[in-house]
Structure 1
Amino acid sequence: MIFLNKINEHDHEELKIGFKVFLHNDNQKFVQEAIDKALAILKVNSVDDVIISFRQTQSEDKKDDLGQIQNVWRALETFVKNEKVKHLGIADVEENTFRAIYEWAEIKPSIIQINLATCCVVPPTLQAFCKENDLKLLTHSDPSDILPSEYVEDIFGKPLTLQWALRFLIHVKCRGVLITKGYVLKLAKDLVI
């Protein structure tokens, strides 16, 4: 794998490795499996940060599911306790949800990501909260559905369900240069009953 050559050109301490896990539900097994699989593929023992993102529906009245996030967060905290992940984050949640997770979590989120397509101006209250608590406030432009089912069927010629997707980004720390990125996916056959 070409990306392993790029990684091996540097000492692990020189690299900043980040994962973003795209989930459709709160199955702890999926988030554990995604992170473990990516660590194994990249042949590293730990990463700097993991950000979770739940697929957003287009419904205007859709609210964040705090229980869903908390369930996955418990699995993420285990990775930090086992020193496989240094920092945790979450993408595309309402400010109140982020604050609730921050107050509830044993291992606090240190990153919040906001989609540029849905937010033109970061709320001043969120900016202040992040500054007060030394949190990274980042933006992104990822689609709400990272791999739509119709694309999956076009690519593989049969209906499959995306269980999870993980994107990895690897930078050289002192220069901020992106040396490689990629995706790890888990697809399952759709059962026809």
Structure 2
Amino acid sequence: MKVSAKLFIVGSNSSSSTRNAVDMACSVLGVAQLDSVIIASPPIEDGVNLSLEHLQPYWEELENLVQSKKIVAIGTSDLDKTQLEQLYQWAQVKPNSNQVNLASCCVMPPDLTAFAKQFDIQLLTHNDPKELLSEASFQEALQESIPDIQAHEWVPLWLLRYSVIVKSRGIIKSKGYILQAKRRGS
């Protein structure tokens, strides 16, 4: 079996969300480690460009999880060549993949392709929306599912999408989502 995951940090919270998400995924899926974890770019304020400083706390936690053998390989999502190069030069555990959104390009940027080839980083594509789960859509779904709950009091922290693949056959055994939310003020 090959267990892959992509972690979306939804709320503004600490990098410990990374460890919580990986621990929860291992527990739910009944595995000791995940083969691959890709982290989506953490949320940043409008008008602010993603920088290495935004990614560092999450990446450091991923590195700790690789060193403790909870994850085999780690990757990124939606980094351009400059961002990927900065992360690669700074990181102790190097990214082994970078996902590029199909909506943002029809052809992979040549500078990104050259850098990835030079450092053996796999370039993958995805078509995830910019915001996979907004606070409002989460609260709406929560209210529909549990009518008696005060949905506005709850905020999503992270969302992890996973897939379990039978290696020898390339068949998807299972896939799904795991979410963590918390009540405001708790």
TM-score of the alignment, normalized to the shorter chain, above 0.5: yes
Quote the residue 2:27 is aligned against: 40
* Aligned residues of 1:117 and 1:141 also touching (Cα < 8 A): yes
Offset of 1:35 from its aligned partner?
0.6
1:68 aligns with 2:54: yes
CA distance in 2, matches of 1:54, 1:130: 18
Find the counterpart in structure 1 of residue 146 from structure 2: none
Structure 1 position 117, deviation (Å): 1.2
Report if aligned partners of 2:80, 2:112 keep a CA contact under 8 Å in 1: no
Match of 2:117 among 120, 124, 131: 131
Percent identity, aligned pairs only, is: 33
Aligned equivalents of 2:48, 2:106: Cα separation in 1: 19
The 1:54/1:168 distance shift into structure 2, 3 A limit, reads same
- How many residues align structurally? 176
How big is each residue's C-alpha offset from its partner over 1:127-176, in whole Å with a ceiling of 9 and x where there is no partner? 11111211110000111111122221212221221101111111111222
- For the Cα contact (< 8 Å) 1:26–1:69, is it kept in 2? no
Could you state the TM-score of these two structures normalised by the residue count of structure 1?
0.85
Q: Where does structure 1 lack aligned partners over 5 or more consecutive residues?
A: 1-14
Equivalent in the alignment of 2:163: 169
1:1-40 to 2 correspondences below 5 Å: 15-24=1-10, 25=12, 27-40=14-27
Alignment match, 1:92: 78
Cα distance per residue 1:108-137 (max 9 Å; x no partner) = 000100111122221111111111211110
Runs of at least 5 residues in structure 2 that lack an aligned partner in the other structure: 144-150
Q: Which moved more, 1:142-151 or 1:108-117?
A: 142-151
